[in-house]
């Protein structure tokens, strides 16, 4: 005998089963529609690229002027901006300029602006890149208003676009933002802003000299030795990191206050990394016996980079350090030093009394071939 | 020997760059072949006669540009082919490595088509 639907368990099962089946059906229809939409979008993308790619190539490479332009369909703005920006980023020189002229002729500046309000980050970034490549001055206020975007990846492209528009005007604003955003991906920032490194140096050096002035003012009030330098150490350490990533080369005198043993470890290391040229060697050598092994590690690196023949003995001493990283970096510096040839270096290392130093040096010498100069 | 009627192989996974270079060199009436990954290029080298010039990206899928260059320099018929490396990698170490492996030139992306043309054209110039 079949159970009756009047049975509440059967009724519940019936409805649960029915609804599940119905929802599965709806889901399948949605998936089907999504697949069709994606395929249609892909077809339209291919159609657009087939039509416009040769046009952009001819416009970029033909000195004879812009070829006849196909009609842009509704909804093609995003495709045009995407393709145009990709071409711009692949080219340099006169080809890039000719492509810019075409972009202006196609009113890309007006097509790109709405993309900045898109919910999709990629569309926003392409819109920002387009305005930057076009160097359209009227986009300045719009781009400045996006500088405080909480997403660092968007900010960094806004900074790039502003620098494209006016490097001198943009550099202090960009540096101010760079200094505030301490969670920024430094590698990404240095890569994207690479073409503008030089123009960013001036405001960065200005910031560094402000820290120096604060330090001097603090020192002149006769603070006890070992007191903080009068500036925010975290801010200064971040400035050092940014400076390093952007290829800043401050003078030794600007860095000297933070190359003292009583300074916080982050600042000593940051300042040492920024040092260029042999003028910075004396303060570095003086830090070779610093109690913090991370400072000694950086001393080993800095001596390898800047040191002269007088520093080989100091590197030998660091090779016998109690910390593995100090020994490792000292061995790397010894392996690449041009002042002692490899055979002589091997002999000197073999005569060291410390077994760990000898092992480290032999291992690193196997990893790094002798310099060929 | 001139650019006209000479042959060029472009190996780059960036299809936009490939299209640009194809346009530039086809206009010089060169025979241009474009491939988009290292493995296809490897197969091409094994199965075809050498071309006059190869323009090759360093960062390629499957087999990278440095490996391809090494293979080419060991190959009995392709070993003398002129090779220009193209890359966004601009560190001194990468450039040194390319030359150490036998590259004839190294160009950093983004490219200036006129510059690429001039660099490749250099291989076909007769010295006075």
A296 within 8 A of A323, measured Cβ to Cβ: yes
Question: SS3 string of chain B?
Answer: CCCCCCEEEEECCCHHHHHHHHHHHHCCCCEEEEECCHHHHHHHHHHCCCCCEEEEECCCCCCCHHHHHHHHHHCCCCCCCEEEEEECCCCHHHHHHHHHCCCCEEEECCECHHHHHHHHHHCCCCCC
As a whole-number percent, the residues of chain A with pLDDT over 90 amount to 76
As a whole number of angstroms, the distance between CA A146 and CA A142 comes to: 7
CB-based contact B114 A95, cutoff 8 Å:
yes
For A48, other C-beta atoms within 10 Å of its C-beta total: 20
CB contact under 8 A, B110 and A89: yes
Q: Does A65 touch chain B (CB under 8 A)?
A: no
| Calculated CA dihedral for residues A243, A249, A251, A256, nearest 10 degrees | 40
CA atoms within 13 A of residue B76's CA, in its CB half-sphere: 1
Q: Is a pLDDT exceeding 80 seen at residue B2?
A: no
Most confident range, picked from A8-12, A62-66, A225-229, A315-319: A315-319
Q: How many residue contacts between A and B have a Cβ separation below 8 Å?
A: 42
A60 in contact with chain B, both atoms CB, cutoff 8 A: yes
| Percentage of chain B lying above the pLDDT 90 cut | 83
B112–chain A nearest CA distance, Å = 5
Q: How confident is the model at residue A159 (pLDDT cuts 50, 70, 90)?
A: very high
* CATH class of the domain comprising A300-373: mainly alpha
Residue extent(s) of CATH 1.25.10.10 domains in chain A: 300-373
pLDDT for residue B54: 96
pLDDT tens per residue, range A278-329:
888 999 999 999 999 999 999 999 999 999 989 999 999 999 999 999 999 9
Q: Which residue has the higher pLDDT, B30 or A225?
A: B30
Q: What would the two tokens of residue A114 be?
A: 């709405």
> pLDDT-derived band of residue A177, with 50, 70 and 90 as boundaries?
very high
CB atoms under 10 Å from CB of B120, counted, come to: 25
Asked if B23 and A95 come within 8 Å (Cβ–Cβ), the reply is no
Determine the residue of chain A that is closest to B17 in CA distance. A90
Residue B56, pLDDT score: 96
pLDDT of residue A369: 81
pLDDT tens figures, B59-93? 998 899 999 999 999 999 999 999 999 998 888 99
Please answer yes or no on whether A60 and B20 come within 8 Å at the CB atom: yes
Name which of A58, A61, A86 is nearest B16 (Cβ-Cβ): A86
- Please check the confidence at residue A101 and state whether its pLDDT lies above 80: yes
The DSSP H or E segment spanning A203 is helix A197-220
The verdict on A197 touching B (C-beta cutoff 8 Å) is: no
Asked if the Cβ–Cβ distance from A90 to B23 is below 8 Å, we say no
Closest Cα in chain A, distance from residue B106 (Å): 16
Q: Which of the four pLDDT bands, split at 50, 70 and 90, describes residue A358?
A: very high
| Mean per-residue pLDDT, A121-147 | 95
**Which class for A309: exposed (0-12), middle (13-18), buried (19 or more C-beta within 10 A)?**
exposed
Residue A196 is given by DSSP the state G
Q: Are A332 and A302 in contact (CB under 8 A)?
A: no
User: What is the DSSP secondary-structure string of A41-59?
Assistant: HHHHHHHHHHHHHHHHHHH
Token pair 């009583």 is found at A262
Across all residues in chain A, what is the average pLDDT?
Answer: 91
Of B17, B23, B27, the CB nearest to A90: B17
Whole-number pLDDT of residue A372: 64
| Closest CB to B20 among A57, A93, A94 | A57
Residue A131, SS3 per DSSP: helix
> Which among A57, A90, A93 has CB closest to B114?
A93
The whole-number pLDDT of residue A355 equals 95
Within an 8 Å CB–CB cutoff, is residue B91 touching chain A?
A: no
- What is the pLDDT at residue B74? 94
| A contacts of B113 (beta carbons < 8 Å) | 60-61, 91, 93, 95
Whether A5 shows a pLDDT value over 70: the answer reads no
User: Which top CATH class is B7-122?
Assistant: alpha beta
Secondary structure (DSSP) of A172-189? HHHHHHHHH-TTS-HHHH
Does A89 have pLDDT greater than 80? yes
Residues pairing with B107 in the sheet? B86
For B15, counting Cβ atoms within 10 Å of its Cβ (0-12 exposed, 13-18 middle, 19+ buried), the class is middle
Q: How would you class A348 by CB atoms within 10 Å of its CB: exposed for 0-12, middle for 13-18, buried for 19 or more?
A: middle
Mean pLDDT of A26-51: 94
Contact B111 A60 (CB under 8 A): no
Q: Does A372 touch chain B (CB under 8 A)?
A: no
Structure tokens at A217: 């003012």
For residue A353, pLDDT beyond 60: yes
Confirm if A304 and A333 have CB atoms less than 8 A apart.
yes
| Residue B71: closest CA among B43, B52, B96, B34 | B43
**Res. A125 pLDDT band, cuts 50 70 90:** very high
Of A139-153, A173-187, A227-241, B6-20, the range with the lowest mean pLDDT is: A227-241
pLDDT tens per residue across span A183-232 = 999 999 999 998 999 999 999 999 998 888 888 887 777 655 555 555 78
First to last CA, chain B: 14
Model confidence at A373: pLDDT above 70: no
Question: How far does the CA of residue A335 sit from the closest CA of chain B (Å)?
Answer: 17
Interface confidence (ipTM) of the complex: 0.88
The order of strands in the sheet holding B105-108 is B31-35, B7-11, B53-57, B82-87, B105-108
Domain ranges of chain B: 7-122
Structure-token pair, residue A257: 């206050």
Beta carbons of A258 and A267 less than 8 angstroms apart: yes
Q: Is B107 exposed, middle or buried (0-12, 13-18, 19+ CB in 10 A)?
A: middle
The pLDDT assigned to A92 comes to: 92
Give pLDDT, residue A231. 72
pLDDT of residue B95: 94
């Amino acid at each position: 005998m079949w159970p009756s639907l009047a049975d509440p368990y059967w009724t519940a099962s019936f409805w649960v089963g029915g609804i599940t089946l119905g929802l599965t059906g709806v889901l399948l229809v949605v998936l089907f529609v999504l697949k069709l939409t994606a395929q249609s979008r892909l077809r339209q993308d291919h159609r657009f690229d087939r039509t416009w790619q040769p046009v952009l190539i001819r416009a970029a490479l033909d000195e004879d002027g812009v070829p006849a332009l196909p009609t842009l369909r509704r909804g093609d703005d995003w495709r045009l901006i995407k393709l145009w920006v990709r071409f711009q980023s692949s080219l340099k020189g006169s080809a890039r300029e000719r492509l810019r002229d075409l972009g202006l002729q196609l009113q890309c500046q007006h097509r790109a602006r709405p993309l900045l309000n898109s919910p999709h980050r990629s569309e926003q970034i392409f819109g920002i890149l387009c305005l930057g490549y076009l160097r359209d001055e009227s986009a300045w206020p719009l781009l400045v208003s996006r500088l405080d975007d909480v997403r660092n990846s968007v900010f960094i492209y806004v900074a790039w676009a502003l620098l494209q528009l006016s490097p001198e005007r943009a550099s202090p604003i960009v540096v101010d933002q760079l200094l505030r955003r301490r969670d920024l991906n430094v590698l990404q920032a240095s890569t994207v802003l690479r073409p503008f490194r030089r123009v960013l140096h001036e405001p960065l050096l200005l910031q560094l000299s402000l820290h120096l002035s604060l330090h001097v003012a603090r020192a002149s009030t006769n603070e006890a030795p070992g007191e903080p330098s009068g500036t925010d150490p975290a801010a200064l350490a971040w400035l050092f990191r940014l400076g390093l990533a952007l290829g800043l080369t401050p003078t030794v005198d600007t860095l000297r206050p933070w190359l003292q043993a009583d300074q916080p470890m982050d600042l000593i290391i940051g300042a040492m990394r920024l040092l260029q040229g042999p003028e910075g060697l004396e303060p570095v050598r003086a830090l070779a016996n610093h109690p913090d092994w991370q400072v000694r590690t950086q001393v080993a690196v800095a001596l390898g980079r800047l040191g002269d023949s007088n520093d080989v003995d100091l590197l030998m001493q660091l090779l016998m350090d109690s910390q593995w990283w100090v020994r490792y970096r000292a061995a790397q510096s010894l392996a690449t030093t041009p002042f002692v040839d490899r055979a002589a270096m091997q002999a000197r290392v073999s005569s060291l009394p410390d077994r760990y130093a000898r092992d480290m040096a032999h291992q690193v010498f196997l990893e790094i071939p002798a310099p060929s100069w | 020997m001139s650019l006209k009627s000479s042959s060029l192989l472009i190996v780059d996974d960036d299809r936009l760059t490939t299209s640009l270079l194809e346009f530039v060199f086809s206009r010089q009436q060169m025979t241009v072949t474009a491939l988009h990954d290292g493995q296809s290029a490897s197969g091409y080298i094994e199965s075809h006669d050498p071309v006059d010039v190869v323009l090759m990206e360093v960062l390629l899928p499957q087999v990278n540009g440095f490996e391809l260059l090494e293979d080419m320099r060991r190959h009995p018929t392709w070993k003398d082919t002129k090779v220009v490396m193209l890359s966004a990698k601009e560190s001194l170490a990468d450039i040194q490595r390319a030359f150490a492996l036998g590259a004839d030139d190294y160009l950093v992306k983004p490219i200036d088509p006129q510059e690429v043309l001039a660099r490749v054209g250099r291989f076909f110039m007769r010295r006075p």
